[in-house]
């Protein structure tokens, strides 16, 4: 909720009046409450879909990862690229309009290496498994946080991998890959990771 | 307050010192402890706050990536601080995310997120802190700490305060006994002196001055007062002595004056006597002079020389006496002449006899007066032991002639009385006067059985001599003034006898009194003389 409130306050384009802000904020709180409550405690009435949770996690990564000063991307935005078909709609709908640390987040489908390199994060949908090695090798030293959801994703040079355990989505982190990409990952994030491989910078 | 009023000054001072001391100490300790506790609470809040911030910060990723287990593990680090009892991490929307409790058996229901950062209950500090990551609110952490260390700290303070209190009391007690020397001792000294002065009435003592403060002034004032009282006392004593002296002097003066007055009065009395005597003598001398002149005239105009002429004529005619008497013209007249001459001479003689008698009586009167004067000229006479009966007899004897001559019967009724020590002459004089008065009273009366009774009786402490007559008596109105000087009812009397008699009686501590039933019923004069045991 704080994120949204701040977002509205800071966004010059958000030409809304006080009353509208409140109602909107309330709506957002309600929404987030539902999202979070169900996400944190299984058995709640409404559950988030797997890719909605993954979209949320991707958003949250922005708070625990530091990109080098010569970061890619356009303007001030944080750009998340999605490699692979079928999941963008579900995820982008969740991310739309949100921001992290005052920076708006945008999500888009990417195809070409040029496009990859302009992203802060690159999400590899499991269906594109075959292309992973090649693509990862291509952007190995670029400051792009690569996130996957497949076995052996870290071995292929990915930085963070989603794994499913007990119906919960857990994290695996490859520090070597992060170092190669000149990304600094907060120890807090490491603390909640199930598995951390590689060596810290 | 009553208890306090009845206390001695010493106790009061000690009490006041202790009280002041304890109040000051209590206030100081209370302020100190309060300040310390407030500071300590702030410090506690800060400590717990730092702890909560640190733990909360480490829970941010756990919330963000939905990892309650990691959050619980992070919270478990609180185990290290023994005062943290409970803790809880909430999600953005206030849902409980992870819980920590020291005692797993205790039931812990996490409180809902509070807007205030912290609050105290009696035994707990409850603290809420936001969890932020990159300035974004991730969630909230709640930490609850017990206040055992505050209470144990307070208990330690109480112990220290009690100890300090005890020590300071001891010091105050010790000091107060020292201070007593400064304040109470002078007062006690003053009180002691005041008590002593009050009980002994001794104003010469002085209180000792120890200091120049108000107590010193008090002592000065007290001493000043004593000095004033003392000087007043002395002045009073002097005044009393002076007064006594003056009274003594005045008494002496009065005595002197009294004596002088006495002498003067005696002299005055004598002068009175002399005046009276001279006056009376003068009067009588007048009569004497008249009588003498008459006799002289009578002698001058006596016809005796004519008789001598007859004798010469007869001698011339010795030879012819018969012829001469018969023949001669002269001779013939001779018998008739002689006869007339003898008549004249007899008349002259008679007249001269009368005058001479008067003269004699006057001279006698003068003699009496002079005798009386002589009797009073000697005052303060000598006392001698006297037989009173004999004295009465002497008085009667002196008047015996006239009494017998006038046919007055004298009755004597004498009791047996002891000899008296008295002024004999003075007493005799009184008696003579009384007898003479009685005689005169009888003489003036017309009755034939003239009687005079002299009675001597002894009473209680006194002897009475009563001279009673049955003469003319005394009118009632005269009874009161009969003893006054110059009072007389008698022709030729000078009103002195009874007056002097009464005076003389008084001089001898006796009295002279009179009784009479009225004119013609006689009178009784009583001389009463005290009996002084010899």
Cα–Cα distance, B458 to B415 (Å, whole number): 7
Residue with tokens 């017998």: B404
**Cα A194 to the chain's mean position, in Å?**
17
In a domain, residue A137? The reply is yes
> How close, in Å, is residue B49 to chain A by CA atoms?
20
Q: How far is CA B440 from CA A169, B392, B470, B491, in A?
A: 186, 18, 11, 10
Identify whether A188 is part of a domain. Answer: yes
- Helices B304-316 & B329-377 angle (0-180, nearest 10): 140
A186 neighbourhood in chain B, CB within 8 Å: 61
The CATH number of the domain holding residue A117 is 3.40.50.2300
* Total domains present in chain A: 1
* Domain assignment present for A101: yes
Does position A42 have pLDDT exceeding 60, yes or no?
no
Range of the domain at A110: 61-197
Model confidence, pTM: 0.49
Chain A nearest-CA residue for B56: A188
Q: Look at residue B262 and give its three-state secondary structure.
A: helix
CA atoms of B452 and B402, how far apart (whole Å): 13
Q: Cα–Cα distance between B451 and B59 in angstroms, integer?
A: 172
Using the 8-state DSSP alphabet, how is residue B318 labeled? Answer: S
In angstroms, the CA B92 to CA B112 distance is 13
CA distance to A174, B57, B325, per residue, from B308 (Å): 228, 206, 17
Three-state DSSP class for residue B16: helix
Residue A54 placed within a domain: no
Position A36 scores a pLDDT of 42
A189 contact residues in B (CB cutoff 8 A) = 61, 65
What is the value of ipTM here, to two decimals? 0.73
Q: For the segment A70-94, what is each residue's pLDDT rounded down to a tens digit?
A: 655 556 788 999 988 888 888 888 8
Whether residue B67 lies within 8 A of chain A, CB to CB, comes out as yes
Please state, in angstroms and rounded to a whole number, the distance separating the CA atoms of residues B303 and B136.
202
pLDDT in tens, chain B (534 residues): 577 788 887 788 888 888 888 898 889 888 988 998 899 999 999 999 999 999 999 999 999 998 898 999 999 999 999 999 999 999 988 899 999 999 888 888 899 888 889 999 988 999 999 999 888 899 999 999 999 988 898 899 899 888 988 998 888 888 887 877 777 788 888 888 889 988 988 888 888 888 888 888 888 998 999 899 889 989 999 999 999 999 999 899 888 888 888 787 777 777 776 776 777 777 778 778 888 888 888 888 887 788 888 888 888 888 888 888 888 888 888 888 888 888 888 888 888 888 888 888 888 878 877 776 666 555 455 677 888 888 888 888 877 777 887 888 899 999 888 888 888 777 888 888 888 888 888 888 888 888 999 999 988 888 999 999 988 888 888 888 888 777 777 765 666 778 888 888 888 888 999 988 888 888 999 999 888 754
- Optimal mutation site among A10, A63, A162, interface B, most CBs of chain B within 10 A: A63
Long-range CB pairs of B293-300 (<8 Å, 24+ gap) are B294/B351, B294/B355, B295/B352, B295/B355, B295/B356, B295/B359, B298/B348, B298/B351, B298/B352, B298/B355, B299/B352
pLDDT of A22 above 50: no
Q: Chain A within 8 Å of B201 (Cβ-Cβ)? A: no
Cβ contact, residue pair A64, B137, below 8 Å: no
Identify whether A3 is part of a domain.
Answer: no
- Could you report how far apart the first and last alpha carbons of chain B are, in Å? 82
Does A71 map to a domain? Answer: yes
Nearest to A33 among B61, B74, B93 (CB): B93
> CB A1 to CB B65 under 8 A?
no
Chain A nearest-CA distance from B37, in A, is 37
Q: Which of A95, A120, A125, A90 lies closest to A107, judged by CA?
A: A95
Residue among B60, B66, B99 with most chain A CBs within 10 A, to mutate: B66
CA distances from B174 to B31, B163, B167, B180, B272 (A): 26, 17, 11, 10, 100
In a domain, A24, yes or no: no
Cβ(B100)–Cβ(B76) below 8 Å = yes
Domain contains A89: yes
Between A3, A32, A40, which is nearest B68 by CB? Answer: A40
């Amino acid at each position: 909720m704080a994120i949204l409130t701040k977002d509205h306050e800071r966004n010059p384009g958000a030409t809304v009046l006080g009353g509208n802000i409140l109602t909107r904020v309330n709506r957002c709180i309600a929404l987030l409450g539902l999202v979070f409550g169900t996400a944190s405690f299984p058995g709640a009435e409404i559950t988030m879909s797997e890719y909605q949770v993954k979209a949320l996690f991707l958003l949250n990564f922005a708070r625990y990862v530091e990109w080098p000063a010569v970061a890619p991307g356009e303007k001030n935005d944080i750009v998340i690229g999605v490699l692979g078909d079928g999941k963008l709609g579900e995820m982008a709908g969740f991310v739309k309009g949100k921001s992290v640390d005052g920076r708006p987040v945008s999500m888009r489908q990417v195809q070409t290496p040029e496009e990859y390199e302009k992203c802060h994060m690159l999400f590899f949908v499991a269906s594109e498994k075959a292309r992973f090695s090649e693509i990862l090798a291509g952007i190995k030293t670029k400051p792009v946080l690569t996130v996957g959801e497949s076995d052996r994703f870290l071995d292929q040079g990915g930085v963070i991998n989603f794994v499913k355990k007990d119906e919960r989505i857990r994290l695996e982190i490859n520090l070597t890959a992060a170092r190669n990409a000149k990304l600094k990952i907060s120890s807090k994030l490491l603390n909640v990771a199930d598995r951390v491989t590689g060596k810290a910078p | 307050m009553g208890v306090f009023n009845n206390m001695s000054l010493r106790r009061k001072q000690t009490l006041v010192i202790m009280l002041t001391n304890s109040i000051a100490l209590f206030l100081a300790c209370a302020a100190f402890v309060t300040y310390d506790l407030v500071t300590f609470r702030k410090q506690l809040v800060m400590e717990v706050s730092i702890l909560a911030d640190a733990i909360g910060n480490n829970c941010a990723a756990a919330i963000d990536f939905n990892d309650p287990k990691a959050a619980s593990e992070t919270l478990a680090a609180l185990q290290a601080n023994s005062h943290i009892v409970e803790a809880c991490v909430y999600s953005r929307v206030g849902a409980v995310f992870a819980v920590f409790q020291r005692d797993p058996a205790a039931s812990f229901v996490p409180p809902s997120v509070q807007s205030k950062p912290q609050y105290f209950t009696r035994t707990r500090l409850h603290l809420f802190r936001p969890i932020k990551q990159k300035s974004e609110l991730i969630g909230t952490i709640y930490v609850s700490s017990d206040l055992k260390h505050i209470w144990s700290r307070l208990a330690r303070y109480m112990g220290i305060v009690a100890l300090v209190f005890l020590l300071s009391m001891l010091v105050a007690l010790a000091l107060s006994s020292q201070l007593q020397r400064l304040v109470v001792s002078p007062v006690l000294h003053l009180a002691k002196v005041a008590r002593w002065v009050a009980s002994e009435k001794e104003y010469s003592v002085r209180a000792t001055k120890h200091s120049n403060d108000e107590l010193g002034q008090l002592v000065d004032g007290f001493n000043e007062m004593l000095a004033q009282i003392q000087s007043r006392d002395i002045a009073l004593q002097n005044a009393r002595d002076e007064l006594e002296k003056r009274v003594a002097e005045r008494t002496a003066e009065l005595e002197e004056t009294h004596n002088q007055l006495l002498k003067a009065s005696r002299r005055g009395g004598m002068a009175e006597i002399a005046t009276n005597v001279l006056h009376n003598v003068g009067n009588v001398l007048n009569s004497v002079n008249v009588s003498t002149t008459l006799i002289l005239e009578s002698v001058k105009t006596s016809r005796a020389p004519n008789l001598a002429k007859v004798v010469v004529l007869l001698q011339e005619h010795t030879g012819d006496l018969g012829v001469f008497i018969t023949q001669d013209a002269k001779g013939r007249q001779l018998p008739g002449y002689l006869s007339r001459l003898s008549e004249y001479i007899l008349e002259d003689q008679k007249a001269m006899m009368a005058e001479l008698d008067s003269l004699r009586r006057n001279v006698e009167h003068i003699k009496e007066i002079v005798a009386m004067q002589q009797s009073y000229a000697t005052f303060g006479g000598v006392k001698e032991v006297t037989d009173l009966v004999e004295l009465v007899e002497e008085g009667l004897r002196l008047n015996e002639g006239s009494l017998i001559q006038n046919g007055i019967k004298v009755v004597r009724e004498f009791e047996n009385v002891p000899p008296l020590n008295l002024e004999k002459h003075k007493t005799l004089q009184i008696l003579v006067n009384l007898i003479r008065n009685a005689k005169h009273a009888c003489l003036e009366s017309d009755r034939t059985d003239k009687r005079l009774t002299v009675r001597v009786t002894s009473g209680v402490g006194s002897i009475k001599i009563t001279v009673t007559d049955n003469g003319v008596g005394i009118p009632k109105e005269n009874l009161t003034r009969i003893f006054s000087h110059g009072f007389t009812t008698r022709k030729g009397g000078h009103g002195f006898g009874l007056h002097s008699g009464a005076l003389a009686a008084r001089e001898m501590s006796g009295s002279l009194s009179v009784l009479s039933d009225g004119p013609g019923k006689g009178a009784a004069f009583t001389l009463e003389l005290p009996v002084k045991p010899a």
